[in-house]
Amino acid sequence: MTVTTGKVNLLGLTQPQLESFFDSIGEKRFRAGQVMKWIHHFGVDDFDAMSNIGKALREKLKASAEIRGPEIVSEDISTDGTRKWVVRVASGSCVETVYIPQGGRGTLCVSSQAGCALDCSFCSTGKQGFNSNLTAAEVIGQVWIANKSFGTIPAKVDRAITNVVMMGMGEPLLNFDNVVAAMQIMMDDLGYGISKRKVTLSTSGVVPMIEELSKVIDVSLALSLHAPNDELRDQLVPINKKYPLEMLLAACQRYISNLGEKRVLTIEYTLLQGVNDQPEHAEQMVVLLAKIPCKINLIPFNPFPHSGYERPSNNAIRHFQDILHKAGHNVTVRTTRGEDIDAACGQLVGQVLDRTRRSERYIAVRQLQSEPVTTPVATNRS
């Protein structure tokens, strides 16, 4: 368990929040910028290392504040360059963060919750149930940890982390305030300076929160569609029963058009053999998405034990892609990366404390995962 110190954790504060903090301790607001650079550009967690801050203020800060990232439980590097961190959060659960290098791009896949309450039928995170929301410091702390592993920002001409996707464990829109604060720090030049186009929030469809998101931030949006009609989506993505497709797509369309520029919605579609991978599903998708500016990312199912689903054949995947492509869509098939370190989509399990049993028992998904998985289809991961 993480020790609670009662000090303010500066890691998770946005620039305006940090300015208010300095106000509240009777100090100048410009200190916020200095401290943010130390934290996020230089990866510093020790006030004594902040050489442009006098000793008296450093002592004052030490008494009331701290810079505390989540505890690193493990760091693995795959043969393909993918990196995976398992970090422990305050609730005692562990979540996972994955870094995927590809060409000139480095994408960090960040978790927002320990477990997930939404229970999509093909997702191993969902199978664990919900344990806790991550704090803003725990969300941005994953970027902080990954970034530190590549050295400080000013030292590198090319930043290692060029893109962030909120596609790790959890439903980011159900941990709204903390995820928004963390994304603001990702985009802030005093934080990680990542452009709004390159920070993407992925949601399974929490409609009211898509509307809220639009009011506070302009990051890119990805929708986990997975089915082209309500009957099938009700089974695969249960939140569809509450917010069905028509309502959901209208909300996404509004979000995208509010962004103003030439921005498009990303559609994620996990292909499950014999379930949602038939030509008729692709044809229905063409009709459904006809008026929505989007790019489609097909994700061949990543198997995990006892899921009850299988990955479609390469031929079936190509056929599905072709139908969408011929209808004029920009369609990519996501490569499975980092499979040797269990870092693929839907394989992120961490160690979520099982709250329903009110015990310190960890769900043994990790043990189940030591069973072999089938060879992946390899194309390009976006």
Residues that bind ligand SAH (CB under 6 A): 120, 122-123, 167, 171, 202-204, 224, 268, 270, 299, 301-302, 345-346
By beta-carbon proximity to ligand SAH, the closer residue of 219 and 345 is: 345
The residue number whose beta carbon is nearest to ligand SAH equals: 346
From the list ligand SAH, ligand SF4, none, partner contacted by residue 119 (C-beta under 5 to 8 A by kind): ligand SF4
C-beta closer to ligand SAH: residue 53 or 222: 222
3-state secondary structure 171-215: CHHHHHHHHHHHHHHHHCCCCCCCCHHHEEEEECCCHHHHHHHHH
Tokens (6 digits) for 171: 């439903």
Helix, strand, coil fractions of the chain, as percent rounded to 5: 35, 20, 45
Q: 378 — alpha (psi -120 to 50), left (phi > 0) or beta? A: beta
Q: Is 248 in the site for ligand SF4 (CB under 6 A)?
A: no
Q: What angle do CA 189, 81, 343 make, to 5 degrees?
A: 90
**Which tokens go with 247?**
């309502």
Residue among 138, 171, 218, 339 that touches ligand SF4 (CB under 6 A): 171
Structural tokens at position 103: 């060409």
Closer by beta carbon to ligand SF4, 15 or else 336: 336
Distance CA(53)–CA(35), nearest Å, equals 9
Strand boundaries in 248-377, DSSP class E:
265-271, 294-300, 330-333
- Residue 191 engages ligand SF4 in binding (rule: CB under 6 A): no
Closest separation between CB of residue 85 and ligand SF4, Å? 18
339: nearest Cα among 84, 117, 154: 84
Q: Which does 187 bind (CB under 5 to 8 A by kind): ligand SF4, ligand SAH, none?
A: none
- Which of 116, 120, 252, 345 is catalytic? The answer is 345
* Partner that binds at residue 270, options ligand SF4, ligand SAH, none, CB closer than 5 to 8 Å by kind: ligand SAH
With binding defined as CB under 6 A, does residue 118 bind ligand SF4? yes
In angstroms, give the least distance from the CB of 347 to ligand SAH: 7
Q: Which is nearer to ligand SAH, 15 or 113 (CB)?
A: 113
Judge whether 345 counts as a catalytic residue.
yes
Alpha-carbon distance 98 to 109, whole Å?
5
Active-site residue, from 19, 96, 138, 268 = 96
Q: Name the minimum Å distance from CB 199 to ligand SF4.
A: 18
- The number of angstroms, rounded, from the C-alpha of 219 to the middle of its chain's C-alpha atoms is 13
Cα(15)–Cα(28) distance, integer angstroms:
13
Question: What is the CA angle 333-336-341, rounded to 5?
Answer: 165
**Between residues 43 and 300, which has the closer beta carbon with respect to ligand SF4?**
300
Q: In whole angstroms, give the CA distance from residue 174 to residue 116.
A: 9
The entry of ligand SAH, ligand SF4, none near residue 167 (CB within 5 to 8 angstroms by kind) is: ligand SAH
Nearer to ligand SAH, 61 or 109 (CB): 109
What is the rounded CA–CA span in Å between residue 346 and residue 122?
8
Near ligand SF4 by CB under 6 A: residue from 45, 75, 119, 212: 119
Residue nearest to ligand SF4 (CB): 126
**Least CB distance to ligand SF4 at residue 355 (A):** 16
CB of 128 to ligand SF4, least distance (A): 9
DSSP for 214-253 reads HHH---EEEEE---SSHHHHHHHSGGGGTS-HHHHHHHHH
| Residue 82 binding: pick among ligand SAH, ligand SF4, none (C-beta 5-8 Å cut-off by kind) | none
Name residues contacting ligand SF4, limited to 197-216 (CB under 6 A).
204
120 is catalytic: no
Nearer to ligand SF4, 163 or 202 (CB): 202
* E-only strand ranges, the chain: 8-9, 65-66, 71-77, 83-88, 94-102, 105-109, 113-115, 130-133, 163-166, 199-203, 220-224, 265-271, 294-300, 330-333
Q: Which residues bind ligand SF4 (CB under 6 A)?
A: 116, 118-120, 123, 125-126, 170-171, 204, 224
Q: Residues with catalytic annotation? A: 96, 345
